[in-house]
A and B are shown apart, each in its own frame.
Chain A
Amino acid sequence: MEDLSTDKRYSLSLTTPVARDADAVFPGENWFLYWKTSSSLWKSKLEEFSKGVKILVPINWAFHSDTGDNYDFAETKPETDLKKLFNIAGELGKELIFLMPITPVPFLPNGGIPHLLARSIALNSEGMAYGIVDNEENLHKLFSFYDPRVFQAYSKFCAKFGQYISEQGISCDIYGYVSGRMEKEEYVSFVDDHSQVFDQAFGRFLRARAENQQTDFKGIESLEEESLVKAEFKNTISSLYQDSLSSSVSANWEGVLEFSFLGSSSRDLLNRMSGNDHTSDYSHDISTIIGKGFIPSSILLPQRKKKGVLGRQLVEMVNNTLVGQKLALDDAYEREGVQFSFLNTFNLVQLDTRKNKWNDFGLVNYLDSTYHNCFSYLNEESFSWNEETPIEEQFYFVLGRELDEKKFRTILKIFMNGGKVILDNSDLDITLKRRLESFFLENNLEVEKVNFLTDVSYTHLGEGQLVVFNGEKLSTRSSNDRYNFWLKLIGTFEIQHIIVEASDQLEYFWRTRNSSTNELNYEEVRRVSVYNPTSYKKKFRLKFAKNFALLKIIDEINCNVTSQPHEVTGELLPDGSVSVDFGVFS
């Protein structure tokens, strides 16, 4: 048996499980579910949050509007009084962040929509109805957001909510939030629907599109075309929900957060049905979710699952690092400072999420083994040029086929400002190809060409470096060859990094921060946190070069760590974890 805390779900429950506060009101990651407790207890509940923590408050649409036509903001139920909640938080010096759903949510009945609107159950890509198990083993069904009635009611609710917060002078930040899960290592939003409701809505979209284009509707002529048009339709609908919210709460609007809920995938449903959901799976999911740029949420998992190493991983990686990082994206003051943020060196630009070309090129495999959890994906929104973003030690991997004029200018700006760009020129638009060649000529850049498993060219301008390679040719090579290609290529950049040798299923994360006033010998401080979510003893070894200095070993739980010159070795017992800090200097 792999997981110490697994319990077999093979008998009918004889007693009704009693919900405890830790599961009900504080389900995880600083979320506060205000409707789950009496408003007279809000003050004592909010006091339990640590100082400086941002409290995430998801707005429960169905709680404020049970039919979709009437609204309750302190008219009937005291627990709908968000103004009171805001005032209490202010008195206690706590900061609230309101989260408004822009997709179905997995932790509420009917996916969070008023029950009278819950008519058409949504289906996943396999045609299976969405049934999500929450932390109290309730089974929540999700309903289609492609139902026009749902959208109409949602718009009205947003308008009413916006009016309420404006009139009441509630000034806290409001984010829209997307709920999703990882399915086979790819993020899928719960708005994804394959039911008849979706098909009917898509049909209407096609007809309207044809009318707009004033052409005869000939129908979709290929699967590829259908896939593209469906993606366009889904983005259109998602934008409608988002715009409905952002325009209603404009003064408070801060953007969109994307959460991935542990325990909500199809695999998880089957595992949870038989009581075989393993901590190690969730632990690995946290790595995947963070790497893909989403925020893990454990609120669907019962507290007993989060008591040990998984709970520590969530607190250290999500509560204390990722959430703060995501909420401080636009705040340069908050970003600079001595808080840890994830060490992210490699940025893989992936605009078409239907296929991962970086996987095909062998890059993901290489980065995962050598720079585990030090890379992330950038999508349409996050891949942009920003003068404030420090890019000198950053690598950007870009697919030529996904470049348009604007993104092409972005990669040149990154290159000219000291960043490293690795560009796959397969299917690069011929105009952009010529532009690139002109750019080299105009700037008198020396281009070195080499053939190592594929065509590679290299140039540099100051600190900036640009490598162009032929990805399609590389993808025909064996997996060993592809691994060696990246080993060789990335090795030429002489990146300062500590080699980690870790047993299978150990999870580890790198974080970095600026050095503090008493650490001025160092340019930065890096921390590696290692977690063993399995039921077996596991080992790890850290090998570091002369420009790293071991500072301290902390938070040792069920582990035995020894240090030697340029090496730290550790043995983690089941449920063990440890963090190690290094100073970095030139």
Chain B
Amino acid sequence: MMNKLIAIYKYKSHVVEGELSGGAYFLMSMLSEDGPLEKNLLDKISNDFFLVSSTVGEDYGPFESLEDLSKFCFSICTELKSPYVTLHSLEEFNALIEKSANLTELLSDLQSEGNLLENVAITQKKSLMQRVFDRV
């Protein structure tokens, strides 16, 4: 079952007068079992993050650190009451594309690999329910 959100992000360097000058992270896409998430949902959550410019082209950001990006993704996870979100950098995603022979393999790898964030409010709640049923 596709019980994980899948997030793909990238790092963009800033170039000032021909020199690299830091960079930022951008969320490229977030996928649920209903497909890519709607822009209005991401807009709503990005407003809560007070992003200066919530979108650059189609990407959401900029996030100064991977930690900030992870928090943003986790907020989406919470909003959608999803138990997990896996984060993949663009490089990791591309490696999975190269490796996978078919769509099923790609989806399986996207769910099982990457940086996994657990929404314990959902996962522990299930465990609690299980415990209740066990008692009964």
Can you name 19 A-B pairs with beta carbons within 8 Å?
A8-B2, A9-B2, A9-B107, A10-B2, A121-B97, A126-B10, A128-B93, A129-B93, A130-B97, A137-B104, A139-B101, A139-B102, A141-B97, A271-B36, A272-B103, A273-B31, A273-B106, A274-B31, A274-B32
Q: When chains A and B are docked, how far (Å) is the Cα of A11 from the Cα of B108?
A: 9
Given A121-B94, A274-B35, A276-B34; A131-B1 close (CB under 8 Å):
no
Chain A residues contacting B102 (CB-CB under 8 Å) are: 137-139
Chain B residues contacting A126 (CB-CB under 8 Å) are: 10, 28, 90
Chain B residues contacting A274 (CB-CB under 8 Å) are: 2, 31-36
| A contact residues, total (Cβ < 8 Å) | 26
Instruction: Answer whether residue A301 sits at the interface, using C-beta atoms and an 8 A cutoff.
Output: no
Chain B residues contacting A267 (CB-CB under 8 Å) are: 36
Interface bits B86-99 vs A (CB < 8 Å: 1, else 0): 00001001100110
List residues of B (9-51) whose CB comes within 8 Å of A's CBs: 10, 28-29, 31-36
Chain B residues contacting A10 (CB-CB under 8 Å) are: 1-2, 33
Q: When chains A and B are docked, how far (Å) is the Cα of A10 from the Cα of B110?
A: 12
Instruction: Answer whether residue A52 sits at the interface, using C-beta atoms and an 8 A cutoff.
Output: no
Chain B residues with CB under 8 Å of chain A are 1-2, 10, 28-29, 31-36, 90, 93-94, 97-98, 100-108, 110
Find out whether the CB atom of A139 lies under 8 angstroms from the CB atom of B94: no
Instruction: Answer whether residue A580 sits at the interface, using C-beta atoms and an 8 A cutoff.
Output: no
Instruction: Answer whether residue A40 sits at the interface, using C-beta atoms and an 8 A cutoff.
Output: no
Find out whether the CB atom of B101 lies under 8 angstroms from the CB atom of A138: yes
Chain A residues contacting B31 (CB-CB under 8 Å) are: 270, 273-274
Question: Which of B102, B108, B110 has its CB near the most chain A CB atoms (within 10 A)?
Answer: B102
In this complex, what residue of B is CB-closest to A11? B1
Find out whether the CB atom of B103 lies under 8 angstroms from the CB atom of A123: no
Q: When chains A and B are docked, how far (Å) is the Cα of A274 from the Cα of B34?
A: 6
Question: Which of A9, A11, A137, A139 has its CB near the most chain B CB atoms (within 10 A)?
Answer: A139
User: In the complex, what's the smallest C-beta–C-beta distance from B127 to chain A, in angstroms?
Assistant: 22
Question: Which of B93, B98, B107 has its CB near the most chain A CB atoms (within 10 A)?
Answer: B107
Given A12-B104, A126-B28; A121-B1 close (CB under 8 Å):
no
In this complex, what residue of A is CB-closest to B93? A128
Instruction: Answer whether residue A133 sits at the interface, using C-beta atoms and an 8 A cutoff.
Output: yes
User: In the complex, what's the smallest C-beta–C-beta distance from A219 to chain B, in angstroms?
Assistant: 9
User: In the complex, what's the smallest C-beta–C-beta distance from A276 to chain B, in angstroms?
Assistant: 3
Given A129-B97, A270-B29; A276-B35 close (CB under 8 Å):
yes
Q: When chains A and B are docked, how far (Å) is the Cα of A11 from the Cα of B2?
A: 7
User: In the complex, what's the smallest C-beta–C-beta distance from B135 to chain A, in angstroms?
Assistant: 31
Instruction: Answer whether residue A127 sits at the interface, using C-beta atoms and an 8 A cutoff.
Output: yes
Contacts A11-B1, A139-B103 known; list 10 others, CB within 8 Å: A9-B2, A10-B2, A12-B104, A121-B94, A126-B28, A129-B94, A137-B104, A138-B101, A139-B97, A274-B33
Question: Which of A12, A137, A270 has its CB near the most chain B CB atoms (within 10 A)?
Answer: A270
Q: When chains A and B are docked, how far (Å) is the Cα of A276 from the Cα of B103?
A: 13
Q: When chains A and B are docked, how far (Å) is the Cα of A463 from the Cα of B34?
A: 55
In this complex, what residue of A is CB-closest to B91? A127
Find out whether the CB atom of B108 lies under 8 angstroms from the CB atom of A12: yes
Chain A residues contacting B2 (CB-CB under 8 Å) are: 8-10, 274
Chain A residues contacting B10 (CB-CB under 8 Å) are: 126-127
Q: When chains A and B are docked, how far (Å) is the Cα of A484 from the Cα of B108?
A: 52
Chain A residues contacting B105 (CB-CB under 8 Å) are: 139
User: In the complex, what's the smallest C-beta–C-beta distance from B14 to chain A, in angstroms?
Assistant: 14
Chain B residues contacting A273 (CB-CB under 8 Å) are: 31, 103, 106-107, 110
